[in-house]
Amino acid sequence: MLVIISFLILAVVSVIGVPILNVVYSTNLNKFIFAFIILMVGGIASTFATVCDNILTVLRKQKLLVISFASGFCVSYFSANPLVEHYGIYGASISFTLSMLTWLLVSLIIYFSAKDSYKEKK
C-alpha cells in the first residue's frame, strides 16, 4: 500500500513539483525536471530505508545499521565524482538515488536476517 501511495505522490509531484519550484525560486527549472524525478525516487528509497532502520532499532539490531549506512556511503563516495563529471546535475541525482537504493537494499537484507533470528529467540 505504501509503495502505491509513494508512486502516486511521485506522479503528482512530477507534474506540479517543478512549476511550484519555478514560482518559489523565481527561475525556470523546467530543464531539470528529469533530475527532480530521479531525486524524488531517491527520496522515496530513503524514506523506506529509514522505516526499515527504525524497525531494526525496535528489534534491538541497531548496531547492524552501520553496515547499511556504510554501504550507502561507499556507493556515494565512489559514484559521485565520476557521475557528476560526466553528467552534471543528472549525475549528482543518479549518485544520490543509487546510494539511497543501496541503503534501502542493505537495510532490507539486514531486516529479513534479523527478523528470522528474532523469531528463533522467542
Instruction: Give strand ranges (E) for 3-106.
Output: none
The predicted model scores a pTM of 0.88
Tell me the residue length of the chain.
122
| pLDDT exceeds cutoff 70 at 16 | yes
Closest Cα to residue 7, out of 44, 46, 49? Answer: 44
Q: What is the pLDDT of residues 79-96, one digit of tens each?
A: 999 999 999 999 999 999
Cα(118)–Cα(48) distance, integer angstroms: 21
Tell me the three state secondary structure of residue 35: helix
What is the Cα gyration radius of the chain?
17
Task: State mean pLDDT over 14-24.
Answer: 93
DSSP 3-state of 87? helix
81: which residues sit within 8 A by CB, 6+ positions away? none
Q: pLDDT at residue 3 above 70? A: yes
Within 10 angstroms of residue 86's Cβ, the number of other Cβ atoms is 10
Per-residue confidence band for 114, with pLDDT thresholds at 50, 70 and 90: confident
